[in-house]
Amino acid sequence: MSSKRWIALGLAFALFFLSIGISALTTTATGQWTGFFAIDEEEVWAEKIVEKGNGKGKIVVLNVNGVIQERYDAPSIFETVTYNHRNFLSMLRHASEDHLVDGIIIRVNSPGGGVVESAEIHDLIVEIQDEFRKPVYVSMASLAASGGYYIAAPADKIFANEATITGSLGVIMQSINISELAETYGIRTETIKSGVHKDIMSPMREMTEDERRILQSIIDDSYESFVEVIANGREMERGKVRELADGRIYSGKQAFELGLVDELGNLNRAIDIMRADIGRGELDVVKYEARFSFPSFLTMTTQNIISRHQDPLGLKQLVRHSNSPSLMYLYKAE
């Protein structure tokens, strides 16, 4: 193993033991040794007060920041991950089941993401509204497009800044075709397949018309689901939704004028209106942070050290992110 890798491992272990020491000192001072070793699912999230109110109830602010896509590999301890799908669903469900939470605001700053992941968030929001009768508002940041709008559609109220980029209502599936480049350099693939369409969207050959029709039918199904979500969430005629959902983007001001957004204003405006709508005064505003868990931290650190050592070039990651077609509610500017 090279000296640089030994240094990296040494730093990782130093940070590991430093974190344990800090947590131990904190828990000793507060007498909360149980929390130090806590792995109970219900104890994963700790509240942090964003804005102190009258203590008569709480509004939880949750952030969707980045591409809405599930990640299957463990992040490095040095890596910043903007969105964690499982964590967000867990926080949303935790807020719904907390009887002290009176309302939920989701702050969306996202170009969208996976069709499945967006649908999971949408369905959970609808479940919270139906089962727990809690208001769910969405506050759009600078970007809330495609899947970012999909998850906003069922909200009781949607807020946007005049300059917010939203819209891009639709579905996309993309691949690349390098067949001519491969032919130029004498590169070819040998494919043995069980059916004529088994290598559909292969980058090494032209797509056939039959394959294009197959994929278009899948896109059309997902598009109709998107139209239905907007029509139901915004109480809008499907014909009107289809006029708006041609893939174009809108400013927050345009979205407001078209009925895609309820109010123009920032996050503070959304908080103020939710407080007024609930009608119990200046409720506390809180967010969730992950509690420190010794077992989970040890597991994550060990996994990352092992995975980086076994796959230093990231080849396994490259294989996982192959050219497999993916349905996306995603705004792509390029």
**Active-site amino acid positions:** 146, 198
162 close to 139: Cβ distance less than 8 angstroms: no
